[in-house]
Structure 1
Amino acid sequence: MQELRGVWIPNLPHSRVLKSPKNIAQSMDFLQEYGFNVIFPVMWNQGYTLYPSQRMQQEGYPTIFPHFAKNNFDPLDILIKEAHRRNIAVIPWFEYGFAASPIVNGGHLIKKNPHWLALDQGGNKVIHGGLTWMNSLHPEVQQFMLDLILEVVQNYPIDGIQGDDRFPAMPIGGGYDETTLKIYQQEYGNRAKPPLNVKDQQWMQWRANQLTVFLRRLYFKVKAINPNLIVSMAPAVYPFCYHHLLQDSQTWLNIGIVDLLHPQFYRENFKRYEIEVNKIHLSLDATQKAKISPGIAFRANGVHLTSNDILKCVVLNRKKGLQGQVFFHYEGLLANNQANAIALKTKGGYNQIASLPAFCRATNDT
């Protein structure tokens, strides 16, 4: 059987997995026992990497998230070793993407590089989802993120890389800084100015196109280093992701610059989840559907998805020809005496070992 069975692993304090090397090993034991074959561990969070980064050091930033500096271990290195021993693939998740910090002033990233700040039409910092954002279209910001990702690609035997609803993305209110204006004027003339209406169709499409061009660049940079690596993206649901974060995920699929797409179908019950899957089923061809493994949240909009509804979601994905599913997040498997993990194993087919689909199997040895 081939099926992607993934789970996101967030940073402390949201999950205990990364607290210690022992926790990592025990968590990989658990995932192996319950039939999972790929993890998406966070590696970029709150302006910190969760691996020792030379690129961060060059920029004058902390080289690793404080917990790991204090306890002197590299969680990515340990995750890879422990996961690969159990035939679990590792696809690092660059969670924060172009978001700088939950701190309103943008934290240490913006303090050192204030010109990286995203601005709205009033000249105010762009805050979305409780986070202050960097300018996703600034060449320096794009190169910085590209460097972080390629640093991991070059230095670790990973199986892929992943962006999400913050990467590549730009809140719809952004794009009114001097750097973006210059890029815009290179295309439309020295007197051109972006529309003040953030929802102007041409203005939305132009900014979305810039993000698509960046993703294409990232995709081929990764493939040039290792063509076997998976470029995975987990945007919000389309077209919400386009209307709010300028993520043109449909185009990403159409032009082939993403290997796996995990739209965040975070819904509080099966019926609402089914609506999203049916949209995908009707709008994509078989080749595109084979790249889809939706994100399923154990808790969505303040409501915990029942184990029965989780099983229905898994069955529906199989029925509709999707690639599998990724659960958000690890701790939801442990809740209520591991009720969800047990349900997946005893009633959801996770007791049968599933290999990753051929094009996204682990190809690296540690």
Structure 2
Amino acid sequence: MNPIKLYSSLICILFVTILFAQPKEKNNYSSSSVKQKEFRAVWVATVGNIDWPTKTGLSADQQKQEFLTILDNVQKWKLNAIVVQVKPSSDAFYKSKMSPWSKYLTGKQGVNPGYDPLEFMIEEAHKRNIEIHAWFNPFRLSAGSTNLSTLSLDNIAYKHPDWVVRYGDQLYLNPGIPEVSDYVIESIMEVVKNYNIDGVHLDDYFYPYKIGKLEYPDYKEYAKYGVTFANKSDWRRDNINKFIKKLHQNIKKEKKRIDFGVSPFGVWRNVSSDPLKGSKTRALQNYDDLFADVLYWMENNWIDYVAPQLYWHRGNSTADYTTLIEWWNNAAKETKTKLYVGLAAYRVSEWKKEDELIQQIFLNRNFTEVKGNIFFSYRSLVRNPKDIINSLLSGPFASE
């Protein structure tokens, strides 16, 4: 036998032996085992008991059963991910040393529900190969009340009252204080370190939406920390930029596999404000009104995915869906950021065109950067307006 051929054969045998001798990795339903081609997700909102639990005071077993029903429906609807609100208002749906138990579990903030909801959700979702992204509202302290007595005594608002801002009928942590951003990042990292989540998800609440002419009260902080900025708006944007950058760095340092995503309001800037980069819309703006420069985060690769909330119909005179999906697709082309689209399932009933939502999904697939969709929210889908579920399953989701 030719010695070269013999040597080559022995090498091949050795390689195959080593390959198949490797111990098989235990299936622990980790993030890598549930990654999907087209991201099909639904938001599960806990604030105000919008989606889950359906009301406060349910037993642990009742809450678990409700969540299992959610997962059953997610599978039936051919979705492959859920985005669950785990910190709606400075309170937690998980065991935390930094935040009290959520009032939306038991009816009173700080009361132990008798189990760890996030741990349960992760285990059950991963059993079904469903991704679970932990959704945080970073700076909101309360929803619908400025009464501190509604908060648990171990809430951060009691420990640092100087961090608290009253604006409208809600309480917020002030992003203009550097220690606040550090605290919020640490509280999110508590979940990243302790739970096998697939993603960290932030929505559109950084600085709050404007209330008429009511000014957000951060004069003292601007005078103290913003002296080097030309105006308060630039300073506010810089506060959020630093927060996003640092959070991204911390997540990737701890668990690189975890996706970090943001779901902003659907308009970055109108063309009237920015003729070069703005969209042909006439709506509220992330950059100018919420001080969230999402495009800058994408350009710097600080977020793994962006899911703009495109909650308008095609042909809308203020913010046309087709115009916006094209704008976001073009914006994503120049970055490494994946583009998911936030879809308004809650508006299906009010739209004149029966198939508006379905046509939006088909339209999205014409754009190269669109990698999936997220529906807002679970309750809207389960109500099944205009038989939307059957339309999804016989239309865009007909194939796996």
Q: Tell me the TM-score range normalised by the shorter chain.
A: 0.7 to 0.9
Q: 1:15 aligns with which of 51, 55, 62?
A: 51
Q: 2:161 aligns with which of 87, 90, 114?
A: 114
Is 1:309 paired with 2:345? no
CA drift at 1:148: 1.5
Counterpart in the other structure of 1:40: 83
CA drift at 1:267: 1.4
Counterpart in the other structure of 2:324: 276
Change (3 A) 1:235 1:88: same
Change (3 A) 1:176 1:243: same
CA drift at 1:346: 1.2
Q: One-letter code of the match for 1:10? A: A
Q: Distance in 1 between matches of 2:293 and 2:348?
A: 24
Q: Distance in 2 between matches of 1:285 and 1:55?
A: 35
SS of residue paired to 2:197: coil
Greater radius of gyration (CA): 2
Counterpart in the other structure of 2:253: 224
Higher RCO (Cα < 8 Å, 6 or more apart): 1
Q: Distance in 1 between matches of 2:348 and 2:84?
A: 23
Q: One-letter code of the match for 1:274? A: T
Is 1:2 paired with 2:37? yes
Counterpart in the other structure of 2:22: none
Is 1:63 paired with 2:110? no
SS of residue paired to 1:147: helix
Q: 2:310 aligns with which of 236, 240, 265?
A: 265
Change (3 A) 1:293 1:153: same
Q: One-letter code of the match for 2:246? A: R
* Cα-to-partner distance string for 1:175-201 (whole Å, 9 max, x where unaligned): 63434422223x36xxxxxxxxxxxx7
Q: Distance in 2 between matches of 1:307 and 1:134?
A: 42
Alpha-carbon contact 1:91-1:162 (below 8 Å) kept: yes
Structure 2 unaligned regions, length at least 5: 1-35, 55-61, 270-284
Q: Distance in 2 between matches of 1:306 and 1:332?
A: 17
Mapping 1:118-197, distance limit 5 Å? 118=165, 125-127=166-168, 131-167=170-206, 169=207, 173-174=215-216, 176-185=218-227, 187=228
SS of residue paired to 1:133: strand
Q: One-letter code of the match for 1:86? A: R
Q: Distance in 2 between matches of 1:132 and 1:20?
A: 28
Q: RMSD between aligned alpha carbons?
A: 2.6
SS of residue paired to 1:284: helix
CA drift at 1:161: 0.3
SS of residue paired to 1:228: coil
Q: Distance in 2 between matches of 1:36 and 1:82?
A: 15
Alpha-carbon contact 1:298-1:304 (below 8 Å) kept: no
TM superposition score normalised by structure 2:
0.73
Is 1:244 paired with 2:289? yes
Q: Distance in 2 between matches of 1:339 and 1:301?
A: 10
TM superposition score normalised by structure 1:
0.80
Alpha-carbon contact 1:54-1:63 (below 8 Å) kept: no
Is 1:90 paired with 2:125? no
Alpha-carbon contact 2:101-2:112 (below 8 Å) kept: no
Q: Distance in 1 between matches of 2:37 and 2:352?
A: 25
CA drift at 1:227: 0.5
CA drift at 1:151: 0.7
Change (3 A) 1:270 1:298: farther
Structure 1 unaligned regions, length at least 5: 57-61, 119-124, 189-200, 354-366
CA drift at 1:86: 1.0
Q: Distance in 1 between matches of 2:378 and 2:193?
A: 27
* Cα-to-partner distance string for 1:334-358 (whole Å, 9 max, x where unaligned): 114782222111111x2422xxxxx
* Cα-to-partner distance string for 1:12-69 (whole Å, 9 max, x where unaligned): 521145761111112112111211111100011133111121112xxxxx33445254
Q: Distance in 2 between matches of 1:297 and 1:337?
A: 12
Q: Distance in 1 between matches of 2:171 and 2:381?
A: 31
Is 1:326 paired with 2:371? no
Counterpart in the other structure of 1:27: 70
SS of residue paired to 2:49: coil
Change (3 A) 1:180 1:52: farther
Is 1:79 paired with 2:152? no
Q: 2:383 aligns with which of 297, 310, 335?
A: 335
Alpha-carbon contact 1:264-1:294 (below 8 Å) kept: yes
Q: Distance in 2 between matches of 1:171 and 1:116?
A: 19
User: Number of residues paired by the alignment?
Assistant: 323
Q: Distance in 2 between matches of 1:175 and 1:212?
A: 20
| 14-23 vs 34-43, which moves further | 14-23
Q: Distance in 1 between matches of 2:71 and 2:391?
A: 19
